[in-house]
Structure 1
Amino acid sequence: MRNELALIKLGGSVVTFKEKPLTANFEAINNIIRVIATIKIPLIVVHGGGSFGHYWSVKYDMHTKPDDYDPYGISIVHESMICLNQIIVNSMIKERLNAYAVMPSNFTSSHRPIIRKIDELQDIAENGIIPVTFGDIVHIDRRKYSILSGDVIMRILSQALHPSKVIFAVNVDGIYKNIKTKETIKEIKNNSRSIDLSRVEADVTGGMRRKVTEALKIARSGVDVLMLNGLDPERIINAISGSAFEGTTIKGVGGKKQSA
């Protein structure tokens, strides 16, 4: 059974200017927040790193593979994500939204879900507060750390909570059938063969390739995944309400909520 809950991922390319280090896209953030303010069901927000965390993770050569990374780089990447999270949370509070910052280390361990803590996020969301979490550099064991992307967090939360809506707000109109013509695929029946993943642009946290890969995993747990352009935030409302929207729907197949 699906929970009346929406998960929205705000891509780093939407909330920041990725070509300008450490530069938030305040206009896009505020436009999305005004739309989020109209959503009537419980909500959890996840955001990417964009020109904050991504910029520093490239500079210090950090990846999703656990490794003994530069301790100073670990500190800088983590601090930059806290900074971006604070920008988004503060912008939400200015719009009278009850945003609540949550570090991913609060509900994951070594990239695995802590189900009891994830259930707490749902409780928070159902009581008028919006948890806002983010991709980050996380501790694995001893001296090893790893990038935990916002896209993987979306998959972890979706598989645990089985929400009614899962939305990836990106800076393109959906998943392209043909990248040259920018023709989008309207619906995917969870068949990755219809997507040429090798031609999808990627960055240190996976870029669109990671999003598509994780979205397919989410859909296999029984949840529809909607990918749309967050720079046109009205599409988020259309997707939430079940109205027609411009973007790609990856249809969910049978799956069950995880248990502790």
Structure 2
Amino acid sequence: MNPAMLTVIKLGGSVITDKSKPYTVRSSNLKTASAALAKLYGEGYDIVLVHGGGSFGHPTAAKYRLHEGGLSPEKVRGFSETRYWMTKLNTLVVEHLLRLNVPAVSLQTSAIAVNSGGKLSRISLDVLREMLARRLVPVLYGDAVIDLSRGFSILSGDTLAARIAVELGAKSLVYVMGAGGVYSKPPGSPDARLLREIAENDVLTVGGTHGVDVTGGLREKLAEAFYAAKNGVRVCIGGVNFIEKMVKGEEAPYTVVKA
């Protein structure tokens, strides 16, 4: 693995699924993202892919209120169901990559990460490192995980991607989201403009998300993005059509996160 050629890419749940329709994939976006990853892989990039839950994970996790914790029979059932649906979505993502000869391998997030108090407590990246050393593309995802104090809780893909990028010393971290970047006001507002750069002390009006999202939406994404940027990772947030340009640092309409 060459850190200078290592990129961590987070595909937002709203990009690859229709969050207004439970268990519905946005096939065109998934194909676009897969094609970009196939090209980057062919050019020698080492890739870790993380995807969100979208309309697969979030509705079930919200139904059982897993973010609140607890060990009741209902919570145990909810953990199991959420894991099932995330595995289904992950299989579809891996399938799209395999069609393009990308050696994608599913890596179950809840098998390598543990939360405490709703926050990531520890993660083992040994297997992931060995996969990268063999030119595999690990595919992880936001997941319901064991929580040492609450029983169960949610580990968002945004947090997972940032932690992996920092611990592996990745060159870049790319957040792909449906809005195509960070805006001065909620996208769709008459005077909303795409912010080409964003720093932690910038004053923003950050809008909510469409559909059900139990992971904190854009606010959490920005917090994780700033964390990675402060630790030397080049971080970008943008749309699915600009994945390659964000990874390579080329000019395009997306947001660059400054430390």
User: Are 2:7 and 2:165, in contact at CA under 8 Å, matched by a contact in 1?
Assistant: no
**Displaced runs of 4+ in structure 1, greater than 6 A?**
none
Match of 1:21 in 2: 22
User: Are 2:12 and 2:176, in contact at CA under 8 Å, matched by a contact in 1?
Assistant: yes
Which secondary structure state, in structure 1, belongs to the residue aligned with residue 171 of structure 2?
strand
Q: Supply the distance in 2 between the matched residues of 1:37 and 1:2 (Cα, whole angstroms).
A: 19
1:75 aligns with 2:84: no
Q: CA deviation at 1:68?
A: 2.9
1:115-134 equivalence runs, <5 A:
117-134=124-141
Match of 2:122 in 1: 113
What number of residue pairs does the alignment pair up?
244
Q: Supply the distance in 1 between the matched residues of 2:63 and 2:69 (Cα, whole angstroms).
A: 17
Which secondary structure state, in structure 1, belongs to the residue aligned with residue 184 of structure 2?
strand
Match of 2:228 in 1: 218
| TM-score normalized with structure 2 length | 0.87
Deviations 1:163-199 (A, max 9, x none): 00100000012111133223011112x32433345x4
1:178-217 equivalence runs, <5 A:
178-179=185-186, 180=189, 181-188=191-198, 190-197=199-206, 199-201=207-209, 203-217=213-227
Q: Supply the distance in 2 between the matched residues of 1:161 and 1:8 (Cα, whole angstroms).
A: 13
| TM-score normalized with structure 1 length | 0.87
User: Are 2:69 and 2:151, in contact at CA under 8 Å, matched by a contact in 1?
Assistant: yes
User: Are 1:3 and 1:161, in contact at CA under 8 Å, matched by a contact in 2?
Assistant: no
1:87-106 equivalence runs, <5 A:
87-106=92-111
- AA matched with 1:60: Y
Q: Supply the distance in 2 between the matched residues of 1:201 and 1:219 (Cα, whole angstroms).
A: 23
Structure 2 CA distance for partners of 1:208 and 1:195, relative to 1, 3 Å: same
User: Are 2:16 and 2:29, in contact at CA under 8 Å, matched by a contact in 1?
Assistant: yes
Deviations 1:38-93 (A, max 9, x none): 00310000000000001111211221x54336211111111000000001011111
Name the Cα RMSD after superposition.
2.0
Moved more, 237-246 or 146-155: 237-246
Match of 1:157 in 2: 164
User: Are 1:119 and 1:161, in contact at CA under 8 Å, matched by a contact in 2?
Assistant: no
- AA matched with 1:177: S
